[in-house]
Structure 1
Amino acid sequence: MGSIANIMSRTREADSAPTEPNPDFDASVQSQAAAAAAAVESAVAPEPAADAASGEAMTGGAFIAETPAHVSAEIDGRVVAWDPRKIDPAVVAFHSRYSAVCEQFRSVRARLINKDGPAQNRILVVTSSLPQEGKSVTTANLGIVLAEGGEHSVLIADADFRRTSIAHMLGMDSRPGLADLIRGEVTLAEALRPTPFPNLKVLTAGTVGDKNYGEVLNSPAARDVLTQIRERFDYTLLDTPPVNTVSDVSTIAPHCDGVVMVIEMGRTPEPTVQEAVRTLQTTNTRILGCILSRYRDRRGRYYDRYYDYYYYYNNKD
């Protein structure tokens, strides 16, 4: 939990100095981050929340609204179109592909790709400690930038059966989806949704009629589905429920290749993030790093109405 815990402590430092994007975060700073982790103390009410301190340990930039540029494409003889009016404005990788913030998502993409070398059919969990920290927005945006250029086959999958978001965010019907696939009611090919990017597919949540969300994800059938997905895609981003609210993530994360934590600056208490990390560690889950959402500069200004991300990668497995 070392480096992630330190991210929380370092959030108290950035207000005293101008904040600049830091895409060239080097190993020496990473070492300092890991060494300082032990200094994080238990919070005294009110609990300190994540804020700009993570900036030194992450990479970021401001969102700038632009005109949608990638709306439709011809795939297998038919036109696949995304209606900009139906796509959530927070999906800036669609609405603002040439904005500064998309460059920061691309920086995250580069770190993901460079972390372990070439794509190796990896399934990555995107989660948070609490609800509404921006994990689904992160999943959608990161999935789109991973698919840019056509070098990697990418899947955005919604495994948050309790609070489905991906279908609505991308203007799609929710059914059929992952839950239907796990129950064997459809095939993977039938459940996948095409996008204007030929190498990007979406797997919505589908319907869990009996409300046994955790049981569905913890079933042998779910693990079989993960195997199918792994064989087909270079990268799968799995949007899951928050760690501290339900046990769903703990059941599925051990069967994936790593976890990216999304932490909302100024809202998420440090002990809450630490609790989530401890929970994941008990399952021997590899935590790749974290993204700080809603980054704010030292004058207390949000860069814009969406999100701003600083990303940090652990310097060790």
Structure 2
Amino acid sequence: MSRIQNILEKAEREGAVRRVRPQVEDMTAVGTVDGRAAMTPPLASPSAFEAPEPAAPIATPVPLVRVVTGTRLSPPLLAALSPSTAAEQYRALRTRIVHSETGGPVNVVLITSPGRGDGKSLTAANLGLAMAQEYQQRICVVDADFRSPQQRRLFGLPETPGLADVLLSRATIEEAVIELEEHHISVLPAGSQSAHPAELFGTTTMRRTLETLRSRFDRIVIDSPAATPLADVGILAPLVDSIVLIVRAGYTSKPAIHDAIAAIDAAKLLGVVLNEAA
């Protein structure tokens, strides 16, 4: 029996997962198993939940041109900011990722799912906010889901150039990255729609763009397309440090989970987050 099947059956059997007010199709929130974020395999020892030792910044500050204030976050994002069970779930997920035993730093995390409606976009946004609030580091959330972009709406951003425009040489990174000053986080929205996202992800421009972002931010959270049936995640995988798969209990089928795992670089898969389990 696979470890993915084990965790789904464990959640169903124990009924230990809290439901956090579901939103629209891709707006579900992180659930918990035994009071922790439902991630398998285990990513850290219990000591990982202790207060981390202060670390020297790993990025060199580079001013970004576009700074936005007074944005109105989508209500589901408040879960990562307000004192609540949901906020603790996202912080636990952040801690497991940051202190995962991968043998190297986890600075770029790709969030994906077997299909649409599993909650990956909300998880990516809330994870970014949790990282920014707790560690006060430079965090950037990148919307790489060109087919179904959500980050601009979630963060209440205006229509601006984004990642697609940078990759098509229509805008610079400075013009596309938006800094939300009051939330200590930056967002690179998807930008203009592209008919061929996979082709853009495989370009030298994409690799250089991510290298530039690495030099400017301590951690980057990428909201990627679904793992199947698209080829996008396979193209992005070599550019990131780790991958987290989001599944939705009672919604995502087990065959879809297995297909998604098969499409992901197993060496970079940190684990699975179980959303909306009951």
Give TM class, smaller chain: 0.7 to 0.9
Structure-to-structure mapping, 1:161-172, within 5 angstroms: 161-172=146-157
Closer/same/farther in 2, CA of residues 99 and 58 from structure 1, 3 Å limit? closer
- The amino acid that maps onto 1:219 is T
| Gapped regions of structure 1 (runs ≥ 5) | 22-52, 61-74, 297-317
The letter for the 2-side match of 1:216 is L
Q: Identical aligned pairs, as a percentage?
A: 26
Displacement of 1:17 in angstroms is 3.9
Q: CA RMSD in A?
A: 2.9
| Runs of 5+ unmatched residues, structure 2 | 19-30, 39-63
Q: Distance in 2 between matches of 1:123 and 1:222?
A: 14
- 8 Å CA contact 2:16–2:32 kept in 1: the answer is no
Deviation digits for residues 230-266 of structure 1 (CA, Å, limit 9, x no counterpart): 1111110000110113111110111110101000001
How many residue pairs get aligned? The number is 240
Contact 2:152–2:189 (CA under 8 A) maintained in structure 1: yes
Name which of 233, 237, 261 aligns with 2:221: 237
Superposed, which structure 2 residues align to 1:237-316 within 5 Å?
237-281=221-265, 285-296=267-278
Q: If the length of structure 1 is used for normalisation, what is the TM-score?
A: 0.68
Structure-2 separation of matches of 1:158 and 1:14? 30
* Residue-by-residue CA offset, 1:203-222 (whole Å, 9 max, x unaligned): 0001135x111111111111
In 1, the alpha carbon distance for the partners of 2:199 and 2:236 equals 11
**What letter matches 1:12 in structure 2?**
E
1:16/1:130 Cα in 2 relative to 1: closer, same or farther (>3 Å)? Answer: closer
Partner of 1:63: none
Asked if structure 2 preserves the Cα contact closer than 8 Å seen for 1:11 and 1:54, the reply is no
- Following the alignment from structure 2 to structure 1, what is the Cα–Cα distance between the partners of residues 129 and 32? 25
Q: Does the alignment pair 1:141 with 2:152?
A: no
SS at match of 2:247: strand
* Cα separation, partners in 2 of 1:10 and 1:194, compared to 1, 3 Å: closer
Contact 2:11–2:277, Cα closer than 8 Å, also in 1: no
Aligned equivalent of 2:74: 88
TM-score, length basis structure 2: 0.77
Q: 1:34-53 alignment to 2 at 5 Å?
A: none
| Offset, 1:150 | 5.0
8 A contact 1:182–1:222 mirrored in 2: yes
How far residue 152 of structure 1 moved from its aligned partner, in angstroms, is: 1.6
